[in-house]
Amino acid sequence: MEDSIPSLSSFLDYYPASNYSLSELMDYSAEGEKSSIGFMELLNMQDFEPSVLDMLHVPVPSVEPLIQTQTSTVFQESSEVVNTPATPNSSSISSESSGGPNDEQNKEVLDGDGEEEDEEEQHKKTKKQLKPKKTSQKRQREPRFAFMTKSEVDHLEDGYRWRKYGQKAVKNSAFPRSYYRCTTASCNVKKRVERSYSDPSTVVTTYEGQHTHPSPVMARPSLAATLASSSAFFSGGAATFLPSAQTVLSSPSHYNYSTVVNGGFMGSTNIISAAAGLRSSTLLTDIGLLQDILPPSIVRKEE
């Protein structure tokens, strides 16, 4: 799986020190507000409207250079996208990785929409007990979105409740990776959180799946409204994220991606995001989505 997630090291490779540096990116976040609300709430907004960005009246200052630096990649079936959330300390950079040719992991959560629960459960159980029969069909991996966030805390507030179900040491990294699952029943969203070994101040959060319920935070009308109108968001096909801090999305060289610059969160931060290719059938979807969602002026795609 090393190819799947580039982790910071590879991530940096994609961002040679041309116009910007990671640290620079991080700087931006510094001024961002540490909204207590995370981007997860944003995730909730599955039906975002293009106009949202318009609402963002935040200028996109120096972020742009960054985007330009990105190199283009080839479209492949990758399913990860990176974003940056904005929680406590907000800036982040995201990198995408992909599952590569074979995706295995869980079956598509999306297609079930409710009943995948049983399926997954059984799947796990079988696996657990004796794995007598392994479904011949490969498990499909859902699109994943990774966010690199500069934060002191590993587990960022994102409006949803998570239950940690595992932790593993990461190769080549002194920091462990934690695995979380949304505590809401029937919601199979998972997320992995790990600290960048090259930059301990950066936390890489990877989301997988799509929430099938509103976030607790969004339950509050006023708050939700605020978020909706002031947050930037990112959509990657299966899931929608609304990062609130600076975000940079990128994907490995072999994956294609697009970069997007959004307005800042709460009016003061900027976001840069890139979408990685989605699964085979939706290869161009991500970019298409981004372009669809974001005004051309803020969407930059390299090729």
Partner DNA sequence: CGGTTTTGACCCGCGC
Partner DNA sequence: GCGCGGGTCAAAACCG
Closer CB to DNA, residue 4 or residue 244?
A: 4
For residue 167, state whether it binds DNA (rule: CB under 7 A).
Answer: yes
Closer CB to DNA, residue 190 or residue 300?
A: 190
Minimum distance, C-beta of residue 238 to DNA, in the bound complex (Å): 15
For residue 195, state whether it binds DNA (rule: CB under 7 A).
Answer: no
For residue 23, state whether it binds DNA (rule: CB under 7 A).
Answer: no
Q: Give the interface size with DNA as a residue count (CB under 7 A).
A: 38
The one among 153, 169, 219, 225 contacting DNA by CB under 7 A: 169
For residue 102, state whether it binds DNA (rule: CB under 7 A).
Answer: yes
Would the CA dihedral through 275, 191, 47, 79 be positive or negative? positive
Closer CB to DNA, residue 173 or residue 226?
A: 173
Minimum distance, C-beta of residue 167 to DNA, in the bound complex (Å): 3
The one among 49, 54, 104, 111 contacting DNA by CB under 7 A: 104
Closer CB to DNA, residue 136 or residue 297?
A: 136
Minimum distance, C-beta of residue 285 to DNA, in the bound complex (Å): 22
Closer CB to DNA, residue 61 or residue 165?
A: 165
For residue 185, state whether it binds DNA (rule: CB under 7 A).
Answer: no
For residue 150, state whether it binds DNA (rule: CB under 7 A).
Answer: no
Give me the residues that bind DNA (CB under 7 A), please: 1-2, 4-5, 101-102, 104-106, 124-131, 134, 155, 161-171, 177-181, 183, 190, 192
